[in-house]
């Protein structure tokens, strides 16, 4: 499985961005796709995951993302999106998408994701 994140950029606080994660490979429907972010000196942090269809295809969010971010998935295009609204300076980070087959109880941990794409930088100015 190969993943490629895109859509980052510079935005003012309160603005919006839509990140995309393009996937390729076999059996993509067997994977949860998640978004994580990482700031300098910090660990990779869970943002949101959408579970594989066999596990319900449901969305899960970090508390910091609830109410502001929306994750969605288009299986026909093999793409996953992260719509980010009401952005804050503390959202500034490199955003990565990852693929996992872990049980749902583990989807919030970066260590459970076996495939990662190159990140895309999101910078939110105050």
- Radius of gyration in angstroms for the set of CA atoms belonging to the chain, rounded to a whole number: 13
Task: Give the distance, in angstroms, between the CA of residue 94 and the centroid of all CA atoms in the same chain.
Answer: 11
List, in order, residues 6 or more apart from 76 with CB less than 8 Å away. none
The number of C-alpha atoms within 13 Å of 87 and in the hemisphere containing its C-beta is 23
Quick one: pLDDT at residue 32? 98
What is the per-residue pLDDT across 19-31, written as a single tens digit (0 to 9) for each? 999 999 999 999 9
Encode pLDDT of 41-65 as tens digits.
Answer: 999 999 999 999 999 999 999 999 9
């Amino acid at each position: 499985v190969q993943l490629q994140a895109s859509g980052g950029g510079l935005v003012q606080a309160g603005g919006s961005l839509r990140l995309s994660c393009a996937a390729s490979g076999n059996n993509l429907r067997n994977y949860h796709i998640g978004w994580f972010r990482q700031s300098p000196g910090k660990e990779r942090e869970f943002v949101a995951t959408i579970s594989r269809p066999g596990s319900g295809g449901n969305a899960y969010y970090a508390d910091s993302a609830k109410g502001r971010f929306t994750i969605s998935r288009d299986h026909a295009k093999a793409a996953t999106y992260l719509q980010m609204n009401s952005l804050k300076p503390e959202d500034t980070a490199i955003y990565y998408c990852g693929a996992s087959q872990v049980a749902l109880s583990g989807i919030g941990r970066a260590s459970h994701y076996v495939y990662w794409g190159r990140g895309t930088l999101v910078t939110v100015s105050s």
